[in-house]
Every structure is written in C-alpha cells, then in structure tokens.
Amino acid sequence: MTIVSTTSSLECLPLDVRDRLLTTLPSFASLRAAVLSCTALYEAYSFRKHSIFNAVVENEAGPALLEALAVSRATKDLDVYSKEDEINDKFADKEGPYWRNEVSVGDAYEVGIIAQVASELEDLFSFRYKDRSRTDSSFSYAESCVFRRALYHNWILSLLSRASTPEDEVIDDDDFIDENTCSLFVRVLSDLDDKSLSQLYQVLLFLDEVFVRSSSRQSYNSKIGKVHLASIPLRTRQYAPPKVLIDFKEQSLFNDLGYDTRATEAVAMGFDSIIRKREVPRIFEEILGRQAILEGVSGGYVDECEPFTRQL
C-alpha cells in the first residue's frame, strides 16, 4: 500500500524561509495567529523567537520605535502604577528603562495602539500638506520617521504635564515656578538639534490645527466665505495626541483633554524657554520655509480655511 505524505507546503520550506515569512508580518496579533496556526511556523518562531518578535514589533510600530516605547512605558507608569513622581527622571535618562530597546509582549500590544494613533495623524498630515488625492499617508519612510519622532516628543510633553513631585499640588495663580524647575521638566528635549526642534514645533502647530478644527471651535466669516480657526497657539502641549484625534473625529468639545497641575505650567514655560532661546520659530519660518517635515514641499500653519466638514 502506498502511503501519501500529508506534509504541508510550509513544513517543506527551509527554516530560513519560514523565519523570513514571520519577520514580514505586519503586527504582533498576526504573528501570534500565525504561530498558533501551524506547527512549522511555531517551530521557526521557537528557534528564532527574539529576532522574529522584534522584527514584527518594528513592522507594527513603524519608524521611531524607541520613542513609541518610551511613550507606552510612561503611559503605563501613569495610568496603571500612578508613578507621577518618577516619569520626569525616567524620560531624561536616555540609558534608562523607558528607552531600552528590549520589547516585552506587553510593550508590543501597547506600541500597536500607539502606532495606530500615529498612523492616523500621519494620514491627516499627509493629506493636509503633501497629497490631497489620497486619504492615507504618502510619506516616504524617512518622512514618516521624522513626523513620528516629532509627534512622539509632543506626546512626551503631554505626559510630562501629568508628572509631579512629592510636594506637587494643583496650580495656584499666585504660585511662582522658577526657570530651573521649568527646565527640569523638559530635559528630554535637551539633546535635540535645531531642525529636530523645528520638526517638533511644526507637529505641535499641526496638532493645534487639528484641535481647533473641531466644529465647536470654528467660526464662519460670512464676509470672506471662510472659516476662522480659533487662536490657541501651542495650547496642545498638555493634550495627548490620542485625545486630540478623538476630539477631532467625533467633533465634540471635551473638557478633560489636559491636566491642570503644577507640571502643566512648568512644561509650558520650559518648552517656551527652549524654543525662544534656540530661535526655533525664526528657524522654522525663515530658514526652513515653514516646512520641517517634508522634503521639497512648502507650506506651514494656516489660520483660515474653506468651510470644513470632516477632513483637514
């Protein structure tokens, strides 16, 4: 009697090929599904778990993985462990736990959520500034990397607005926060060069624009037939990008977007001091032509637009 082999096509593939297949998967969820679905893929993953896992996490997170990991770890420290008194020092320590490149399963899930927010905001930025014929991003890999790093640094500022010290209390109008204290809250920006700060600044202006384009923050000027955007310069420092995005998508005015702590004011003053001393607005306007993210594309922040429905 002839015995017919039931070996699957995947099982016939060399280990290197199965490894390559797994490293190209787009998300941690798809990796988990693939490994559980087939003995041959499970075997390949077992042999090369570390390299495959990290490759897939990078696929899902996109560019700027380290910054995304720092955001996810700080968010967990705040939301789960209430470590408001630790995140400032942890962000500033570039050799510390927030910035390590080892990725846990928990990190992978959280980074996936963060990357989805970054991807949607990248789509909006691309539509606004690069290609209005597409609703998804038309960025090159390098442009995406620049945008996301700048976005994650803005995200970090919003998280630092939730930081505290042991003596921290709700801000009192009579409180004075000295310049040294303010600088301590934005140490994470100290190693950024002028162009990187300009990129952060442009993304902050973009988040402002997304923020004010919620319908409740717009006013229509019937004389010129255009919508005037509310003037809220740099206010989104304390607002996390996910909340700005949700507010924009749902077109509702949230009252709890930010936090009103001593750190909120310290971050705002510290950041303002950095961009003033480094002349970031002048560099952005005069040297970079109001476009620090994209190559070969001009255009900057606007304060009026055509009547608006859903998209930028």
In the chain, the amino acid numbered 110 is E
Q: Which pLDDT does position 21 carry in this prediction?
A: 94
| 97 pLDDT above the threshold of 80 | yes
d(CA 273, CA 270): 5
Q: Is 273 in contact with 179 (CB distance < 8 Å)?
A: yes
Token output for 272: 């303002």
Q: Is 288 in contact with 195 (CB distance < 8 Å)?
A: yes
Residue 170 phi/psi, 5° resolution?
-60, 140
Q: What is the mean pLDDT of residues 171-198?
A: 84
CA distances (Å), 1 to each of 4, 8, 222, 280, in order?
Answer: 10, 21, 88, 81
Q: What is the mean pLDDT of residues 44-73?
A: 92
d(CA 160, CA 167): 16
Q: What is the pLDDT of residues 224-247, one digit of tens each?
A: 666 555 554 445 678 889 988 988
Between 98-102, 296-300, 304-308, the lowest mean confidence (pLDDT) is in 304-308
Instruction: Give the global pTM.
Output: 0.84
d(CA 168, CA 290): 38
Return the SS3 of 288.
Answer: coil
Strand order, beta sheet including 304-305: 218-221, 226-229, 304-305
Considering only CA atoms, give the Rg of the chain. Answer: 23
What is the distance in angstroms between the CA of the first residue and the CA of the last residue of the chain?
A: 70
d(CA 65, CA 38): 29
Provide the residue ranges of all domains of the chain, joining segments of one domain with +.
Answer: 10-54, 62-305
Between 74 and 54, the higher pLDDT residue: 74
Between 78-87, 99-108, 219-228, 266-275, the lowest mean confidence (pLDDT) is in 219-228
d(CA 176, CA 124): 38
